[in-house]
Amino acid sequence: MGLDMYAYAAARAGQQDEYNEQEGDWNLETREWVTKDLLPKPREIAYWRKHPNLHGWMERLAESKNVEYGSFNGVELELTWADIDALEQAVTHKQLPATTGFFFGSDADELYYESDLAFIKAARAELFLGLRVFYNSSW
């Protein structure tokens, strides 16, 4: 067990359950899987295993957006252009908040530094294409 975290691009909120759905068709024109309502299936753009400080940053973001949750686990958090810009500042200036938890592991900021920057770049590309970007986690 541990903290698994991921980000994905989707056409609408609530599509995370469509990762594993077997329903859908291959669109020859766009060359991607589409759901029964003709939306592209969500696709993972980042995955982290035990990156607690990033998770803490996301939890603070959810709190600032007044997202309601019991514990910050399995919460779909939409990330905007401004959120991605703020995350880039926090990562590049090494300002992710120290975060601890039973399943979280230890500080992994240096380990994931390049991956975090790659995620930021990918998230911007997805937003530019008109998709939405979401963060979620599970422990």
pLDDT band at 29 (very low <50, low <70, confident <90, very high): confident
Q: Regarding predicted confidence, which is higher, 37 or 123? A: 123
pLDDT of residue 114 exceeding 80 = yes
CB atoms within 10 A of CB 23: 9
pLDDT of residue 34: 63
The SS3 assignment for 114 reads helix
Look at the chain and count its residues: 139
Partners of residue 27 on adjacent β-strands = 32
Q: Is the pLDDT of residue 122 over 90?
A: yes
Q: Work out the pLDDT band at 45, boundaries 50, 70, 90.
A: very high
d(CA 59, CA 4): 14
Examine the pLDDT at 10 and tell me if it is beyond 80. yes
Of residues 80 and 102, the one with the higher pLDDT is 80
Please report, rounded to a whole number, the percentage of residues in the chain having pLDDT higher than 90.
55
- pLDDT in the model for residue 37: 56
For 46-58, the pLDDT digits (tens) are: 999 989 999 999 9
